[in-house]
Chains A and B, each alone.
Chain A
Amino acid sequence: MSGTAGYLGAMASISAEDVPALYEGAKFYSPAVGDAGRSSVTSWLAGLLERNGPVPLMRVESVAPDTQCVAVCVLGSGSAMADLPPAGDEFVLAVRQIERLQKVRFGAVYPLAAATISALVPVVTAAQLGVPLLDADGMGRTFALIHHTAMHLAGVSPTPLVAVGPTGESVLVEVLSGPRADRMLRANVDTVGGWAALAAYPVDAGTLRRAALPGTMSRITNVGRVLLETTDPEALVTRLGAITGCRRVARGRIAELEHLSRQNDVTIPAHPSSLVVEETGGLGRQLRIELRSEIVAVFADGALIAGAPDLMCLLDVSRGALATLDSLEPGDLIDVLVTPADAVWYSPEGMEMVGLASHGIPLEHPRRR
């Protein structure tokens, strides 16, 4: 398979050797945060996997239906986590609190969002607890709020949930309605240092078979292998397209970064900002890329050409590497890549929750025209 030499398909375990690919692939599915904490987190995870051995990666269908499972992720800012790294026990402490509350023992861990650092910490947690990791997650990328999950759409409650901060302080949240959990958590997360280890969505594996998005951990590792293979942007786009369905919609130089460029909804982290890109070659269009914590829409000469829930990311052409949103500079030459999200997000319920209108852009999605 010459086009995707690093492609391995579904994986059975995650070992220390997989960590670099896991990290790069996780960045593709959420290009929000740069590499300020990369060496710290990847060394931590690789060290755990070397000491404790590889973590088994299991399809949800291969786990007994009555196995109790819990999702983990990083809640808050990757920049805050880079500046205040984990002590190391936060995720296990969060899981154990739910176990004590529910009087259960979790038999498996799964990612709430298999993207960014949140794709690595479930591996950390599984290695520390000595349980398998499920090859499934709740988002297939990253969305802003913790109820933006396939589990929530399937009627699974995110609570009881526990957030443990780097200060060692913790918050237990129990709510009647999933969307209220995020609002209750945000202020606490800011108080404990800007990020927290979250354990949530305690549920049995039988329910997850219909509620979670399958194969997403294997997918990001395979994407990461491709990203590590070459720095040639042409080869990268072709090979990524073969396993993710992504396509390049434009190449151009960043001309301007604008802030507070749209109406601000303070319930969503990070204020709206925009990127103006002058297309080099092609039609010479002017692109306007609307940002929140992720890229939410791409306009070309005023026409919407991609939008949430599509996964949109930027490739730094000069370096042949992903450009993260916190490291963009005017003058950078970038490729704008658009990847379809998991199908559940294009359903009416999914679009209502995470589509363009949820970001204050009340336009019809290009895939629906």
Chain B
Amino acid sequence: MSAPTIGVSLRPERAYAAVVHGATAVPVEPVAPARNDADGVIAAAVAEARRAAPQGADAVTVDIAPVLLDALLRPDSEIPPVAVVRVVPRAATDPVLAQSPAAAVERRVAGRWTVGGGHDLLGNELRPLDRPGLARIAAELAATGIRHVAVVAAGSQARPAHEREVADAIQAAVPGARISVASDYGGQGLTAREATVVLDCALTPLAERLLDRCERTLARLPGDVRLRVARGDGGYSTPSRIRVTPVMAFGATDALELCGAAHLAGLDDCRVLLDRDGSPAAGEVRHRLAVVRLAEQPQLGTELVVPTAALTPEPPGSRGGDVPVIRAPHDQRLLACVGAAIARPASWLDEVAFIESADELERVRRDAEERATAMVMANGAAPGTTHIAEISTVAVPYSPSGTVRIRVRVAGAPDDTPAGR
């Protein structure tokens, strides 16, 4: 049997953990005087894993999403103010279009600027970058004292040149600025892409503090237990990746609870009913992965370009058609811990391409698969273990013939070798 794995769910009020060893999942409760914060719970879980198997646990996967969400929604949290720079052909003429539709996002925005420029979805330039305007904005931004900057340019998924030039100019004007650029995430929709990089900037210091603390705790404990961080899609990534892209950890809990419930039920494919504020909400698991989508985040009021498990209110009378339905037990914190413990490295890619033949489509698909595979290995997958969990290519409606949207999801097995540490 392989080594036990540990899943930890960091909540604002305390931390929870479970040790999973084969089909067994044991909730961990620190014994007084040990604390029930991250340090105490991780230490107790590592000790519990040693009791389960002499070699102890290989890894701890931590879900930091509840703490990130709490900090984002709490007005008095210590989240840094963020400056937003949009690169579009024209500035918005309507005040609503000039800002994020999500109050939780806009609350973190301390200043907004628009630079003329941008590309279309296929990377064709719509307007040359307004360099004199950029110079003025960089100087203004430097004078504000804001040090966290989100940059989003129209069409930067296809051609990031304008976005990078803006980021470089701001970095030069504001040394030490933490800049997040939308092209790092791909995806579609300026609003969703902008919200993603705003959260990315805003959550960086908090994510760093959380992960530093977890790593220090593990370093003090016996054995060589590595830290992993749960992603919104229910997979995991490395702490170093999440430190630079903390928004990838946002919204992980739902997917972890779905996978945890399926694991405890011994099912690879099922529909899971979770309790949400006293009402049932449903999600699905296919091939041991949570079904994830790019959907509006109910607590945020806007979409992001990182996928999460979109739960649906479940009306009376179960559905699911041809898959079994599980009503999850009440302690969903345990489910999140189990889901984290069994998480696998994962990656997701969502982009638009142009094809003129079936051969070209095949080439574009292969290229996307290869890049998503490289990403999953960067997230901690062992070479040779990766597989394409999902791939879809759809024609983009009302776009020029040949425009396709490609989404690829790749999963792998943990790289437990010393090289993978």
Q: Footprint of B on A, CB under 8 Å?
A: 32-40, 42-44, 47-48, 76-80, 82-89, 144, 166-168, 186, 190, 192-194, 230-233, 235, 251, 253, 257, 259-260, 264, 266, 268-273, 280-281, 291-294, 317-321, 325-331, 333
Contact = CB atoms under 8 A, between A and B. Distances in A.
A146 to B, nearest CB: 12
Interface residues of B, number: 70
Contacts of A186: 400
B392 A84 contact: no
The 5 lowest CB-CB distance pairs between A and B, nearest first, are A36-B189, A88-B94, A32-B397, A43-B101, A47-B96
A190 B391 CA distance: 27
Contacts of B407: 329
A242 B184 CA distance: 47
Nearest to A186: B400
Interface string B316-327: 010111100000
Q: Is the interface of A mostly helix, strand, loop or mixed?
A: loop
A166 B397 contact: no
Nearest to B301: A39
A330 to B, nearest CB: 6
Given A38-B296, A78-B398, A326-B394, A280 B97 contact: no
B24 interface: no
Contact of A326 (B118, B127, B315, B397): B397
Contacts of A42: 101
A39 B320 contact: no
Given A43-B96, A84-B88, A232-B315, A270 B399 contact: yes
B133 to A, nearest CB: 15
Given A260-B355, A293-B397, 4 more contacts: A33-B398, A37-B191, A326-B405, A327-B293
B271 A318 contact: yes
30 contacts: A32-B398, A34-B294, A35-B303, A36-B192, A44-B96, A77-B397, A80-B120, A80-B399, A82-B190, A83-B188, A84-B118, A84-B190, A85-B191, A86-B97, A87-B88, A166-B126, A232-B317, A257-B392, A259-B355, A259-B393, A270-B397, A270-B398, A280-B322, A281-B322, A292-B395, A293-B395, A318-B319, A329-B390, A331-B291, A331-B390
A84 B395 contact: no
A83 B155 contact: yes
Contacts of A292: 395, 397
Contact of B97 (A36, A40, A257, A294): A40
A95 to B, nearest CB: 15
A47 B397 CA distance: 28
Interface stretch (B48-56, B223-231, B256-264, B306-314): B306-314
B90 interface: yes
Nearest to A328: B394
A260 B358 contact: yes
B301 A79 contact: no
B395 A291 contact: yes
B352 A168 contact: no
B127 A167 contact: yes
Given A87-B90, A88-B92, A40 B395 contact: no
Given A80-B120, A318-B319, A44 B94 contact: yes
B303 A328 contact: no
B121 interface: yes
Given A190-B400, A270-B403, A294-B397, A333 B188 contact: no
Contacts of A80: 120-121, 399
B89 interface: yes
Interface in B389-421: 390-405, 407
Interface string B158-196: 000000000000000000000000000000111111000
Interface string B181-220: 0000000111111000000000000000000000000000
A239 to B, nearest CB: 13
B79 interface: no
B405 A79 contact: yes
Contact of A270 (B193, B310, B322, B395): B395
Nearest to B122: A194
Contact of B399 (A37, A167, A194, A327): A194
B94 A325 contact: no
A241 B284 CA distance: 28
Contacts of A43: 96, 101
A40 B93 contact: no
